[in-house]
């Protein structure tokens, strides 16, 4: 590789030969694809969608992850988009809230709430400097930790075969799940380079083959899927209900603040500088715009992908055309339903065995953010009490039964919302809006 080509990889705007973009772009696709499609599959199962509708959810997840990435790379109106080398994708952070909304109110309520929440995210992007003080690393880390904790039971139930399945908890399900987990574990901790980056994909492929041998895979969705299919607006409808909207709005605000950390990690790790206010504001507004457009077509909320941020910081490759190539691959896959349909045949046990590592990583990300702050009595009080209320209420089924149903929906169905509210209030009361080292 010539010096000019090498330098082009580390220059955001430099022209890059396709043969140089392909291998780097494929790495990003491999690192992201499982994370992009899995939230949609999980939400589809909770909402009892048909195989055909599940395929559409996967299509829109792929397509709008690509669209969101392109918006970040090529800002609209000069300010909606970060112009940073980031990969966007369907976010696990939203999964607990979306599953609760889908189970109680239906799939249309998810996209109605997303439409409203994404508009708010755009406004947050415009005023991020003022709102950011309410979400210091201590609060954001606590919220991220609660997201990981809330997903642990989901992964375990999937490993057991999925609640409601005829063979839930069977030895066969656990065998497939544990082998999938062991493969992911091995590649993640005992391999390097491409094999390490694709550890989740490797585990899912091997787990899927084992499930196929054991007769756990149904290919009828693939047979019924077309080769090419356009996505259409309002296929799932939109339903505007106050409780789901309020619930999801809180999550959108939290994720907007979390995105600041991801953008900062990208610029500091790969570009040796802090992100500018324009980049942060544009990045958050770009995410909001992509989610607004996605709500019309059934695309679940997208966010910056931590694994891809890690890939950029490790390789230092920031050329935008690497991300463009990855986005094109996702768009092509999104318009070919047979590819999406294959993903719907993945058994619960395989998904659970692969994703429990992802959820563990989310939790540890939160712990790292918390531990980056001085663990004074006041700071530990914020974290401990917020988690005590959020996790405690969510695990104590019926503890809010004396209140109207909407109270349970907002505060009792997921650890995340109540943890967020309590953490923000306690941090403000104990620490104010500026970091302090209080005794």
CA distance 291 to 286: 9
Confidence of residue 31 (pLDDT cuts 50, 70, 90): low
pLDDT above 60 (res 235):
yes
* Range picked from 294-303, 329-338, 364-373 for highest mean pLDDT: 294-303
Phi, psi (5° rounding) for residue 397? Answer: -55, 130
Confidence of residue 436 (pLDDT cuts 50, 70, 90): very low
Residue 210 is encoded by which pair of tokens?
């084992």
Confidence of residue 143 (pLDDT cuts 50, 70, 90): confident
> Residue 425: CA atoms inside 13 Å, Cβ hemisphere, count?
10
pLDDT above 70 (res 2):
no
Bridge partner residues of 126 (DSSP)? none
Enclosing H/E stretch for 345? none
Residue 431 is encoded by which pair of tokens?
């620490």
Bridge partner residues of 302 (DSSP)? 90
Cβ atoms of 204 and 354 closer than 8 Å: yes
- Helix residue ranges, H only, 192-298: 193-197, 199-213, 220-224, 242-271, 277-297
Q: Give 356: exposed, middle or buried? Use CB within 10 Å, 0-12, 13-18, 19+.
A: buried
pLDDT given for residue 434 in this prediction: 61
Tell me which residue has tokens 């992201």.
Answer: 32
* Spacing of C-alpha 321 from chain mean position: 23
Phi, psi (5° rounding) for residue 313? Answer: -70, -30
CA distance 28 to 173: 30
- Helix residue ranges, H only, 372-439: 377-395, 405-407, 415-431
pLDDT above 60 (res 324):
yes
* Range picked from 16-25, 42-51, 300-309 for highest mean pLDDT: 42-51
DSSP 3-state assignment of 25? helix
pLDDT given for residue 194 in this prediction: 65
Percentages helix, strand, coil for the chain, rounded to the nearest 5? Answer: 75, 0, 25
Stretch among 113-127, 152-166, 316-330 having the lowest mean pLDDT? 152-166
DSSP 401: T
pLDDT given for residue 12 in this prediction: 87
Average pLDDT on 95-117 reads: 91
Tell me which residue has tokens 């070919």.
Answer: 336
Confidence of residue 83 (pLDDT cuts 50, 70, 90): very high
pLDDT given for residue 310 in this prediction: 66
DSSP string, 24-81: HHHHHHHHHHHHHHHHHHHHHHHTT--HHHHHHHHHHHHHHHHHHHHHHHS-BTTTBS
CA distance 324 to 318: 11
Residue 254 is encoded by which pair of tokens?
């939290």
Residue 135 is encoded by which pair of tokens?
């979400």
pLDDT given for residue 327 in this prediction: 94
CA distance 252 to 395: 23
pLDDT given for residue 292 in this prediction: 96
Which is higher by pLDDT, 100 or 361?
A: 100
Confidence of residue 307 (pLDDT cuts 50, 70, 90): low
Residue ranges with strand state E in 290-405: 302-304
Residue % of the chain over a pLDDT of 70: 94
Average pLDDT on 107-120 reads: 94
Stretch among 98-102, 254-258, 398-402 having the lowest mean pLDDT? 254-258
Residue 334 is encoded by which pair of tokens?
């999104």
**Mean pLDDT of all residues in the chain?**
85
What pLDDT digit, counting tens, does each position of 38-73 carry?
889 889 989 999 988 998 998 999 999 999 999 999
| Domain positions in the chain | 3-431
Cβ atoms of 46 and 311 closer than 8 Å: no
| Cα–Cα separations (whole angstroms), residue 392 to 16, 76, 396, 426 | 52, 43, 6, 17
148: Cβ contacts below 8 Å, ≥ 6 apart: 359, 360, 361, 362, 363, 364, 365, 366
Average pLDDT on 1-23 reads: 75
Phi, psi (5° rounding) for residue 62? Answer: -65, -45
pLDDT given for residue 247 in this prediction: 85
Residue 332 is encoded by which pair of tokens?
């092509």
pLDDT given for residue 201 in this prediction: 76
pLDDT given for residue 438 in this prediction: 38
Which is higher by pLDDT, 68 or 129?
A: 68
């Amino acid at each position: 590789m010539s010096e000019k080509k090498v330098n082009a990889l580390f220059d955001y705007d430099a022209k890059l030969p396709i043969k140089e973009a392909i291998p780097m772009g494929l790495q990003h696709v491999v690192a992201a694809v499982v994370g992009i499609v899995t939230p949609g599959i999980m939400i589809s199962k909770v909402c009892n969608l048909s195989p055909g509708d599940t395929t559409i959810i996967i299509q829109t997840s792929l397509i709008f992850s690509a669209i969101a990435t392109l918006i970040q790379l090529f800002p609209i109106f000069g300010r909606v988009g970060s112009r940073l080398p980031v990969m966007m994708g369907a976010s696990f952070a939203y999964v607990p809230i979306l599953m609760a909304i889908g189970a109680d109110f239906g799939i249309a309520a998810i996209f109605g709430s997303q439409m409203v929440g994404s508009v708010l995210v755009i406004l947050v992007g415009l005023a991020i400097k003022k709102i950011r003080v309410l979400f210091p690393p201590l609060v954001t880390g606590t919220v991220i930790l609660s997201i990981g904790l809330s997903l642990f039971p989901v992964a375990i139930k999937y490993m057991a075969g999925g609640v409601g399945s005829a063979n839930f908890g069977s030895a066969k399900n656990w065998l497939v799940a544990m082998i999938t987990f062991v493969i992911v574990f091995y590649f993640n901790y005992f391999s390097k380079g491409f094999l390490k980056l694709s550890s989740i994909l490797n585990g899912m492929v091997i787990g899927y083959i084992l499930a196929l041998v054991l007769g756990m895979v149904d290919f009828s969705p693939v047979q019924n899927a077309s080769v090419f299919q356009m996505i259409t607006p309002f296929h799932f409808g939109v339903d505007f209900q106050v409780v789901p909207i309020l619930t999801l709005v809180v999550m959108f605000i939290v994720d907007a603040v979390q995105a600041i950390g991801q953008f900062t990690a990208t610029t500091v790790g790969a570009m040796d500088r802090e992100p500018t206010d324009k980049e942060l504001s544009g990045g958050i507004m770009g995410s909001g715009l992509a989610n607004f457009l996605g709500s019309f077509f059934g695309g679940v909320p997208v966010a910056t992908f931590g694994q891809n941020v890690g890939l950029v910081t490790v390789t230092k490759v920031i050329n935008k055309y690497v991300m463009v190539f990855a986005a094109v691959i996702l768009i092509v896959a999104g318009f070919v339903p047979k590819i999406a349909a294959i993903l719907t045949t993945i058994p619960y046990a395989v998904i659970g065995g692969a994703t429990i590592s992802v959820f563990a990583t989310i939790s540890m990300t939160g712990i790292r953010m918390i531990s980056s702050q001085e663990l004074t009595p006041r700071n530990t009080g914020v974290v401990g009490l917020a988690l005590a209320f959020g996790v405690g209420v969510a695990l104590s089924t019926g503890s809010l039964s004396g209140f109207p149903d909407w109270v349970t929906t907002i505060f009792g169905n997921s650890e995340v919302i109540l943890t967020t509210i309590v953490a923000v209030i306690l941090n403000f009361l104990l620490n104010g809006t500026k970091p302090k080292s209080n005794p």
